[in-house]
Structure 1
Amino acid sequence: MPKDEKAHTSPYVSIISGGVAGGIEAFSTYPFEFTKTRVQLHQEKGISQKLPRNPYKIAFQLYRDEGLRAMYKGCGSLVVGSIAKDAVRFLSFDTVKNAFKDPETGTLSPLRNMLGGMVSGVVASIFAVTPTERLKTALIDDARGAKRYKNGVHAIQLIIKEDGLKGLYRGFVGTTLKQAGATSFRMGSYNIIKDYERTKGITQNTAVNFINGSIAGIITTVSTQPFDVIKTRSQTAKVTTTKQAIASVMKYDGIKGFWRGTVMRLSRTVFSGGILFTSAEAVAKIIDPLFTQQTELD
């Protein structure tokens, strides 16, 4: 087995590759995220039922009525949050992997892969995901109604003024549950697949990385969609608790409401999973020799 498969990943490589990949993934797939969030925010009785059943028709209507620029409303906060989120996620996961992987094979057991992903998801939710997701959702929600927020900075100022610092952590429970589950499935399943391929001698390249990331995205979406719906409903422009968010889903849509936006989110995660891990692997391959060389010199 090549030396680099057994060597520990530098924390600098994890942070840079994860951050760059997160920013690329967030920007390139944002219209899917925008549409998914708007669908989940249609909670008034009778309105959600009038929406087209095909989520791509909804996306086309939004584009036709509001333009492409409107479909990137709140994108800045998500990109910044994704850079921080994925830098933290990759750093946390690689730290766990460095500590517990088999020294001979350079792999983790499936359970440790999943637990490593869960830990990195919780850490990312605390330090990056919840406040940026809250800001993104509030901006998208505000754009379809009151239009009180001039921009992201103005939105932060109003949220803190009206609800205090805790306003940026609305939906923390739902977001953390989603991140713990999503990162566990995404990072865990991707690395389980990658470790399996490594033991079978399957060459890792861009196409393989993209397919593996897409599969991980599908597994993640199907498993964690209810948490995503609860998180979105908790982070609207109007102050809403996690309990109120769950109650509103049950009141207007029933159990099936917890899977609202699944098709659009699935469309995004198939691409985002492939883009995220392909980008991360590519960046790591470029910068890893730089930090390896520096370590040897030190």
Structure 2
Amino acid sequence: MELSLAHPALKAFMCGSLSGTCSTLLFQPLDLVKTRLQTLQSGVQPGSGRVGMTSVFLSVVRTEKLLGLWKGVSPSFVRTIPGVGIYFSTYYTLKQHFFQDRSPGALEAVLLGGGARTVAGIIMLPVTVIKTRFECGRYSYGSVTGALRSVVQTEGPGALFSGLMATLFRDVPFSGIYVMFYSQTKASLPKEISVSAWAPLANFSCAVLAGVMASLITQPADVVKTHVQVNPQLRTLEAIRYIYMEHRLQGFLRGAVPRLLRRTMMAAMAWTVYEQMMTHMGLKS
């Protein structure tokens, strides 16, 4: 069946998957640096902001070569390509079902984005766990399938869903806040810009602003999620207590700079590509 005859939700899935592929390949090094910063052992001083990020970056290049920055890209692809596709197809389906004739309001946008992220997050959580373990450098898995098999055999299937609540506490608010800021900012643009050749740049700018706000608000939950998935014996509350006892409040901001850069740019690219592809296919995104 030709793409033009495909179901709109399938088109949304394909648009989302393509945008996720591009952004994952470009920004994987930032995700790896973020994970390494968050899982530094106590007593290691990561420095603040740019210094910590730079030192980890150089350390990875020095000890694991340049390609070491893309460690974990395989599970990232396995997670992102279908995950972003699931997210956008769910988002499109929910939006068409509930808001076919109008734009969602601020609270409705939060619920719309959060609902789509809940579906995608739960489905893709096992791969998210493997991705985090690949990036932290403490595990020596050979492949994604090998890692999945190893975790099931040594820790049980439940370990693949470690950090479920922490992941949802991070991703659902992030997506809800993101969609709210993005949709409301985009709706405030003059109509002549929205239909001009500057529309992609305007959409990208709105997406960047939304990504910055959502990333800052959900940063503590991301730190907790990383600790739970790297140390599956920890529960969410135990991880919160551990982070505070070891690093105090600043511990919840570890990895904020690379995460903000990565999440903001990935989301901006994904949404811009998604919007343009949907428009090219004649569908209202």
- Which band: TM-score by shorter chain? 0.7 to 0.9
How many angstroms does 1:49 deviate by?
A: 4.8
Q: Which residue of 2 aligns with 1:80?
A: 78
Query: Are the aligned partners of 2:165 and 2:236 in contact in 1 as well (CA < 8 Å)?
Result: yes
Query: Are the aligned partners of 2:166 and 2:236 in contact in 1 as well (CA < 8 Å)?
Result: yes
Q: Assess, with a 3 A threshold, how the Cα gap between structure 1 residues 115 and 201 changes in structure 2: closer, same or farther.
A: farther
Question: Per-residue CA shift, 1:178-229, capped at 9, x if unaligned?
Answer: 111111122232222222226x443252211221111111011111001110
SS in 2 for 1:47: coil
Q: Which residue of 2 aligns with 1:124?
A: 120
Q: Which residue of 2 aligns with 1:197?
A: 189
Q: Which residue of 2 aligns with 1:234?
A: 228
Q: Which residue of 1 aligns with 2:244?
A: 250
1:277 has 2:271 as partner: yes
Q: Assess, with a 3 A threshold, how the Cα gap between structure 1 residues 270 and 125 changes in structure 2: closer, same or farther.
A: closer
Alpha-carbon distance in structure 1 between the residues aligned to 2:241 and 2:18: 38
Aligned pair count? Answer: 274
Q: Assess, with a 3 A threshold, how the Cα gap between structure 1 residues 72 and 49 changes in structure 2: closer, same or farther.
A: closer
Question: Per-residue CA shift, 1:211-260, capped at 9, x if unaligned?
Answer: 11111110111110011101100111664332332222112111221111
Amino acid at match of 2:130: L
Amino acid at match of 1:131: P
Alpha-carbon distance in structure 2 between the residues aligned to 1:34 and 1:248: 22
Q: Assess, with a 3 A threshold, how the Cα gap between structure 1 residues 98 and 156 changes in structure 2: closer, same or farther.
A: same
Instruction: Please list, as runs of the form range in 1=range in 2, the aligned pairs for 1:205-220 lying within 5 A after superposition.
Output: 205-220=199-214
Alpha-carbon distance in structure 1 between the residues aligned to 2:65 and 2:203: 33
Q: Assess, with a 3 A threshold, how the Cα gap between structure 1 residues 248 and 40 changes in structure 2: closer, same or farther.
A: same
Query: Are the aligned partners of 2:46 and 2:52 in contact in 1 as well (CA < 8 Å)?
Result: no
1:170 has 2:162 as partner: yes
SS in 2 for 1:71: helix
How many angstroms does 1:135 deviate by?
A: 0.4
Question: Could you tell me which of 255, 260, 264 is aligned with 1:261?
Answer: 255
Alpha-carbon distance in structure 2 between the residues aligned to 1:17 and 1:236: 32
Amino acid at match of 2:128: E
Give the fraction of aligned pairs with identical amino acids, expressed as a percent: 23
SS in 2 for 1:256: helix
1:48 has 2:45 as partner: yes
Query: Are the aligned partners of 2:129 and 2:229 in contact in 1 as well (CA < 8 Å)?
Result: yes
How many angstroms does 1:111 deviate by?
A: 1.2
Question: Per-residue CA shift, 1:9-66, capped at 9, x if unaligned?
Answer: 9212221111211121112110000000000011x32113568834134213322332
Query: Are the aligned partners of 2:193 and 2:202 in contact in 1 as well (CA < 8 Å)?
Result: no
Amino acid at match of 1:86: V
> Can you give the 5+ residue segments of structure 1 that lack an aligned partner in the other structure?
1-8, 293-298
Query: Are the aligned partners of 1:139 and 1:237 in contact in 2 as well (CA < 8 Å)?
Result: no
